[in-house]
Amino acid sequence: MSVHKRSDTGKWEARLKGPDGRRYSRSFHTKADAQRWEREQVIRAEKGEAPVAHRGGDTLTAVAEKWLTSLTTDSHKPKTINGYQRLWENLVQPTWGGHKPRNVQPDKVRAWFATMTGQAGKPLSLSRRKQALQVLAMILDEALRQGLILRNPARTDALGKIKTPTVQAATDHRYLTALELRSLAACAGDHGDLIFFLGTTGLRFGEATALAVADLDIPNRTLTVSKSVSEVDGRRLITKPKNRKTRTLVLPQATLTRVSHLIEERDADDLLFTTSTGAAILHGNFYNRVWRPAVTAAGLDPLRIHDLRHTAASLAVASGANVKAVQAMLGHASAAMTLDRYAGLFTDHLEAVADRMDAVLAEDACHESATESTITPIKRVAL
């Protein structure tokens, strides 16, 4: 093993012999980078892995293709993979595809992020630019795993500290009252049952439209959520829920009353919610033909379908549900996630909590009748 400065190029070169007997070398602009690479390869050798040689011909396109093919439906939803593919092809590849990973520098990444435009040359929204930056960062993570770079320039600065562009906070959640939810459902006609269902169960749209008749157990008031629908290029793909776990909900009687007729004279495998012709409900069609007209008619603009999930959470908290109950209902991975998103709902009840604590702490009649003779005096101790 050795690190020395080349007289011909002025670069620092690290050399070492791998466990396979082959000699490996790589050049760097700084001595520190050469030493760091050398230490990393020694660790690989101790594990019996061959050092990663410098492959100067690998461009970001080659790395991206390997990364994209490594994504499977076991770890990602088809819609997510498709979104990554589009972001790479439309926003990341045109700028970075021909670059070698080692030539991607943090200052260039920041400049690209600040001035990113779409295919039509129009400035992109902050959220869209952040999505493209995240894809670039994940591709460079793959380059890091391959040993093509020593640090990820889309995630770190020259000191190795995380430096992600500041992103504005997400828009505030919109919560409908029970009356507003009923009004919106009434304006949706035949699809009012689905809207009321979403607003009282907290299911995601893909989870609700994937439900089968067999998932609803009217006598026990329960609903089993074990799958979801992802739409990719107009195709419905059945996947697992977002946290990949099955959950069971106990439904309010008002919700059961609204949807109980949907299972009458139907097979167990039939979809619970369908179009008027019995076909599967597609998100785009529902949004344009049902959601937008209903929201406008109810005077609730602007409103997203996902706001019904927030509405269900707010109605549950208002009914006395604790954090763990809301977590189970929404299918969050942890109670911390639930608190991060809905902390404001629980703080509304702090006054009621304080009142209950006053009741617990209040002296009862027994305490009031206590006399000084029953209290053990405390001696004053000189310090």
Question: 10-residue block means of pLDDT along the chain (383 residues)?
Answer: 78 76 75 80 71 63 90 79 91 92 88 86 88 93 85 70 48 85 95 96 94 94 92 81 88 93 92 91 93 95 93 90 89 86 74 72 57 54 56
114 closest CA partner among 167, 170, 171, 59: 167
Cis peptide before 302 (omega within 30 of 0): yes
Cα 155 from Cα 176, distance rounded (Å): 38
Structure tokens at 311: 């509405």
346 closest CA partner among 322, 310, 319, 312: 322
The residue behind tokens 């949706």 is: 188
- For position 202, what pLDDT does the model report? 94
The residue behind tokens 């994937």 is: 210
Structure tokens at 79: 């819609």
Q: Residues 6 or more apart from 73 whose CB is under 8 A from it?
A: 81, 239
61 closest CA partner among 89, 42, 20: 89
CATH number, domain 178-347, options 2.40.50.100, 1.20.140.10, 1.10.443.10, 3.20.20.70: 1.10.443.10
16 closest CA partner among 6, 3, 28: 3
CA triplet 141, 84, 204: central angle to 5 degrees? 115
The DSSP call for residue 291 is I
Cα 160 from Cα 152, distance rounded (Å): 9
- For position 3, what pLDDT does the model report? 84
Q: Residue 217 belongs to what H/E stretch?
A: strand 216-217
Cα 249 from Cα 327, distance rounded (Å): 11
193 closest CA partner among 204, 175, 178, 181: 181
- For position 53, what pLDDT does the model report? 53
Cβ 212 vs Cβ 227: under 8 Å:
no
Q: Residues 6 or more apart from 298 whose CB is under 8 A from it?
A: 180, 183, 184, 186, 187
Annotate 72-103 with three-state secondary structure.
CCCCCCHHHHHHHHHHHHHHHHHHHCCCCHHH
Edge to edge, what strands does the sheet with 247-250 contain? 216-217, 222-225, 247-250
pTM: 0.63
Structure tokens at 112: 């690209």
Coil/strand/helix, residue 228: strand
Q: Residues 6 or more apart from 265 whose CB is under 8 A from it?
A: none
Coil/strand/helix, residue 232: strand
Coil/strand/helix, residue 211: coil
215 closest CA partner among 238, 185, 192, 181: 238
Cα 7 from Cα 237, distance rounded (Å): 59
